[in-house]
Amino acid sequence: MESAIPPHLQTTRSRHKRVPDDYQPPYPSFVARYKPNVDRVVMAYFGVQYRGAVPLAATEALAEIDRRLVAADAPSHRDRAHYVDQAGYANEVSVAYWDDVARFDAWFEPAREAWTGTRREGIGTFIEVLRPAVARHETLFSSLGRPEGVAVIADGMSGEVQEHAYWGGMRDRIPLSQTDAMAPGGNPELVRDGARLRVVAHDNLCLIRSGQDWSDTEASERKLYLDDVEPVLREGMDFLRDDGLAIGCYVNRYMRVLGADGSISEKSYGQSWWRSLAALERWAESHPTHVRIFGAAMKYLSTLGPSAKLRLYHEVTVAAADEQFFEYLNCHPKTGMLAAVETVTA
C-alpha cells in the first residue's frame, strides 16, 4: 500500500486527509506516476463543431490538426472523441497530452492560429487547455495494463494506493490538498478578440475526465454495464449538461472515444469543467445518479476485484488561473466555457 501522493510531492501538512493512516480500501486502485523531473503536464482539447452532415471544412480541419499532432514537438499522446451537445451540434474533440511545457509552447502558437485564428465555413472551433503543476493533479485507475488519457504519458503506474474508495479520496490524492483548500476565486469573464472569444476563468477551476472502457467485458458483465450502469451514468451526465450550472458545473461532455479510423469504440468519457473541486465533490456525493454509480462500482469492484473486465479511470486537475486557456471561434453561445459567462452576442 502506498500513498497516491508520490514521495517527492509529500509535504508537511496543514490540512489532514480524510481517513486515518491505517485505512484499508476495500479493493485495489492505482494512479499514474510521472518521472520526478516532470513538474507540469499539458492537456489540450481541440474541438470542431457543426450541425447536420459533416461539412467539408470539418473534415479538412480534422485532417489538419491530425497532421500537426504528429509534427515537431507533437504531444506524447492523443485521442479523439465525439458527442452531440445540448444544442444539437456534433462536436469532435481531439485531446493531446504533453509532459514538457516548452515543447507544448513551441508547438502551440501556429496550431492555435490555424485552429481558432481563421474562420471556416459551416464549423466552429475551440481550444481548451490546462497546463497544471503536477501537484494540482491526480489520476485513478481501477486496473493496470491499459493507461488512458494523461496516464499514457506517465512513466508508469503505482502499486495499490490508499486514498480511494471513500468520499474525499479525490481531494486527498491531489498533492496540493496537503496545504491548500483550493477555493475558487472570481468568476469567468469573456474577452472578445475580433471573432475569437476567450474565457478567462478563475483560480482553482476544476477539470475532470472520467472514463469507462467496456471493450473487454463479456456476457453477463457486459450486459450489467450496458443495461444497468451505463443508463444511470448517462442520466447523471445529462443532468450535468442541462442543469449543471446551478451546482457549479460549467460544462459537461459525455463523449464516445473514436478509433484511429474514426470508428466508434467501446470507450467513453465524461469531460466536465467545474467552478471548484468542492462543487464536484458535492455533486458526486449527493446526486442520486452518481451515488448509485459509486455504490454500484464499490460493490462491483469489491466483489470482482482485479478480475473485473470493466475499466474505469479518471484524471482531475484544479488549475491556477494562469494555467488555463479557453478560446472559441464561430461556436454557438453555449459551447464549453462560453456557457459560464454572461450572454454572448455575436
Q: Exposed/middle/buried for 306, CB within 10 Å: 0-12, 13-18, 19+?
A: exposed
- Tell me whether residue 164 or residue 253 sits nearer to a copy of itself (CB atom): 164
What does the alpha-carbon distance between residue 224 and residue 218 come to, in Å, rounded to a whole number?
Answer: 10
For residues 181-200, which are near a copy of itself according to CB under 8 A? 181, 183
| End-to-end Cα distance, the chain | 54
Piece in contact with a copy of itself (CB under 8 A), picked from 76-84, 137-145, 258-266, 275-283: 275-283
Report the nearest approach of a copy of itself to the CB of residue 285 (Å): 6
Piece in contact with a copy of itself (CB under 8 A), picked from 41-49, 66-74, 280-288, 335-343: 280-288
Q: Exposed/middle/buried for 262, CB within 10 Å: 0-12, 13-18, 19+?
A: exposed
Using CB under 8 A as the binding rule, whether residue 299 contacts a copy of itself is answered as yes
C-alpha cell at 334: 453555449
What does the alpha-carbon distance between residue 120 and residue 113 come to, in Å, rounded to a whole number?
Answer: 12
User: In DSSP terms, which residues pair with 83 in a beta bridge?
Assistant: 91
Report the nearest approach of a copy of itself to the CB of residue 141 (Å): 19
- The alpha carbon of 184 is separated from its chain's Cα centroid by a whole number of angstroms, namely 18
- Tell me whether residue 133 or residue 291 sits nearer to a copy of itself (CB atom): 291
Catalytic positions, please?
A: 314
User: In DSSP terms, which residues pair with 200 in a beta bridge?
Assistant: 189
**Sole binder of a copy of itself in the list 292, 309, 332, 334 (CB under 8 A):** 292
Using CB under 8 A as the binding rule, whether residue 276 contacts a copy of itself is answered as yes
**Sole binder of a copy of itself in the list 15, 67, 192, 223 (CB under 8 A):** 15
For residues 94-153, which are near a copy of itself according to CB under 8 A? none
Using CB under 8 A as the binding rule, whether residue 228 contacts a copy of itself is answered as no
